[in-house]
Amino acid sequence: MTLNPQDYTGHVTAPGKFEGEARATLYYYELIMNGDGEDITPQHSDGEPVSEGLSLVRFVVDGEEAAAFGKDAQIECGDIVIILEDGLGFVSMLAFASDDAAEHWMYEWFGQPCKGCLACA
């Protein structure tokens, strides 16, 4: 199933799990429901999630998506987007210029020392 990014411009105003997000977040979330994206949810070594209900899925923004979402979501072609669903079911989108930047953010977010992105190496 293919979604048209042009159908997801603007922002979500309705209350709920996407409130206040660019509608691009909804687009990526629906892609996840279709089985797309790379699940990068951190897990303990025993496979248990580090945080109950937390989910992080990674996408690389393509040109068509950047053209549709760039203004609302401030993303560019080639950016790394992480769709984060928290334990309460709220969904947000984070965008990074590189996997390196995304990796650094993830370590910081979990309160761990960065294992050596380019900026920290």
Residues that bind Zn ion (CB under 5 A): 104, 114, 117, 120
CA gap 102, 90 in Å, rounded: 20
Closest to Zn ion by CB, 62 or 99: 99
Closest to Zn ion by CB, 8 or 96: 96
- Residue pair 27/2 in contact by the 8 Å Cβ criterion: no
CB of 80 to Zn ion, least distance (A): 14
23-33 helix and 63-73 helix, angle to the nearest 10 degrees: 140
Residue nearest to Zn ion (CB): 114
Closest to Zn ion by CB, 66 or 114: 114
Q: Can you tell me which residue has the tokens 């990526």?
A: 28
- Residue pair 50/43 in contact by the 8 Å Cβ criterion: yes
CB of 45 to Zn ion, least distance (A): 22
CA gap 72, 14 in Å, rounded: 16
CB of 99 to Zn ion, least distance (A): 12
CB of 120 to Zn ion, least distance (A): 3
Closest to Zn ion by CB, 23 or 104: 104
What SS3 state is found at 40?
Answer: coil
